[in-house]
Amino acid sequence: MYVAVKGGERAIDAAHEWLADERRGAPDVAELSISQIREQLSLAVNRVMAEGSLYDPDLAALAIKQARGDMIEAIFLIRAYRTTLPRFGVSAPIDTGAMRCDRRISATFKDLPGGQILGPTFDYTHRLLDFALMADGAVSPEVKEGGPTDAVPLPHVTEFLDREGLLQPEPEDNTPPRDLTREPLDFPADRPLKLQALARGDEGFVLSMAYSTQRGYARNHPFVGELRIGRVAVSMDIPELGFAIDLGEITVSECETVNQFTGSKTEPPQFTRGYGLVFGQSERKAISMALVDRALRWEELGEDNVGAPAQDAEFVLSHSDNVQATGFLEHIKLPHYVDFQSELELIRRLRAEAMMASTGPREAAE
C-alpha cells in the first residue's frame, strides 16, 4: 500500500542542522570572527552593504559569515533585516565634494588641482598569487606614503568642464525622489529611481550591461571624468533642534563619466555625463553604474534608441535586483507537480490523438 511522503518538518530541521555544521567547517580550524571578515574581507563587506542597501559593516560581515560566503545570500539576509527597521527620517544629501578621498583619479586630465591619488587599488598589482599570505601571522608592511590621514576635500573634476559650459548642466530638482524600497517600481521610471535601482543592483548584472555598451550595444564613448572613493559625513535635520547634525561618516565610491554628445540644431555640442554612486569601495560597480545610467538617458538626451538592452529601462530595472532574480530562479526547485501533472495529461492526450490520426487509416485497412 502506497503511503504519501510525509516528514517535511523533520527534513527541514535536519537540513538546518546539517547546514549549521557545514557552515562551521572543520572544528579544528579556528572560527572566523566578525571583525576578521570586516577588516580582511572588506570588499566583500562593501558589496553586501551596497546591494543590501544598508551601511553597517558589522552586520554585513555577520551576513557573509552566516551565508558561508555566498554573496547574494548575504545580501538577502541584510535586505530582509533592513526592511524591518523603523525609519526615523531622511538624511540630507551627502556632499561628495567635501569627500575626504582615499582615492581620486581622472582619466580626462593628466593633472588637476588636488592631483591624482592612486590609493589602495589593485590596478597596478601583478596578479600573482602571493604565497606569503598563506603563512599564518604575516604582517603587512607599514604604509610609508599617502594613507588616509592625508586626505583633504578636493574639487570635482567635472566642475572644470562645467565652468566652460562644455558639460551639459543637470537641472536642479529638489523634489524628494521616489523610494524604491517603499513604493512599487513604476514605469516610466525617472532618473532618481533608475539610479537607486542601479545602486542596489547586482554588480555582475550592472557590469555586463555596462560592458555591452562598450562593445557597441548603445555605445556612448565614456571617459572616466573622475572616480573618487573616500569618507563623507551623513547629516540629518533634527526638527527639535532646528538644524542639521552629523550622524557619522560613510565610505562611498563615486564615478562621473564624461560622454560624447554630438549636439543638435538648437544646441551646440556638449559633453554629457553618467553617474554612479555606491556604498564602500566598489569602484567596478560605480563605473558600471555610470555607463548604464548614461545609456538609459537616451530619450532625455534625444538620442536614437538602437534597441540595445542597456537602453531599455524596463528591461534593466526589472532584472537588476539579484535578490529578486535568485528567488525566482531558485523557486523552480519547489514542487511543481500539480502544474506538471496537468501538462502531462495534456501531452498524453494530444499524443494519443496524433497517434490515432496517423494510425487510424491503416487500422481501418486491416
Partner 1 sequence: MSYNFAYLDEQTKRMIRRAILKGVAIPGYQVPFASREMPMPYGWGTGGVQVSAACLTPDDVFKVIDQGADDTTNAVSIRRFFEKTAGVAVTEKTTEATVIQTRHRIPETPLSADQILVYQVPIPEPLRFLEPRETETRKMHGLEEYGLMHVKLYEDIARHGEIATAYAYPVKVEDRYVMDPSPIPKFDNPKLESPALQLFGAGREQRIYALPPYTKVFSLDFEDYPFDPSKAAHPCALCGAEDSYLDEVIVDDAGGRMFVCSDTDYCASRRETGEAA
Partner 2 sequence: MTPLLQVRNIEKRYGVRIGCADVSFDLYPGEVLGIVGESGSGKSTLLNCLAGHLSPDRGEVIFDTRVDGPRDVRQMPEAERRLLSRTDWAFVHQNPRDGLRMRVSAGGNVGERLMAVGARHYGDIRQTAGDWLTKVEIDTARMDDRPSAFSGGMQQRLQIARNLVTGPRLIFMDEPTGGLDVSVQARLLDLLRGLVRRMGLSAIIVTHDLAVVRLLADRLMVMKSGHVVETGLTDQVLDDPQHAYTQLLVSSVLQV
Give the binding site for partner 1 (CB under 8 A): 2, 4-9, 11-12, 76, 79-80, 82-84, 86, 181-188, 314, 318, 323-324, 326-331, 334-339, 341-346, 348, 350, 353
23 binds, among partner 2, partner 1, none (CB under 5 to 8 A by kind): none
Distance CA 119, CA 20 (A): 39
**C-alpha pair distances (Å), 316 with each of 93, 214, 219, 295, 321:** 25, 16, 16, 11, 9
345 binds, among partner 1, partner 2, none (CB under 5 to 8 A by kind): partner 1
Binding mask 243-282 for partner 2 (x = CB under 8 A): ---------------------xxx----------------
Name every residue whose Cβ is closer than 8 Å to that of residue 150 and which is 6 or more positions away in sequence. none
Q: Which of 277, 269, 282, 281 is CA-nearest to residue 293?
A: 277
Minimum Å gap between C-beta 9 and partner 1 is: 5
Minimum Å gap between C-beta 62 and partner 2 is: 50
**C-alpha pair distances (Å), 110 with each of 123, 157, 325:** 17, 11, 41
CB–CB of 290/255 below 8 Å?
yes
265 binds, among partner 1, partner 2, none (CB under 5 to 8 A by kind): partner 2
- Cβ closest to partner 2, residue 264 vs residue 341: 264
Minimum Å gap between C-beta 264 and partner 2 is: 7
Give the ranges where the chain is alpha helix by DSSP (H). 8-24, 34-40, 42-52, 57-66, 71-82, 157-163, 191-199, 203-214, 283-296, 313-319, 322-330, 337-365
Minimum Å gap between C-beta 205 and partner 1 is: 15
- Cβ closest to partner 2, residue 36 vs residue 264: 264
By CB under 8 A, name the binding residues for partner 2: 264-266
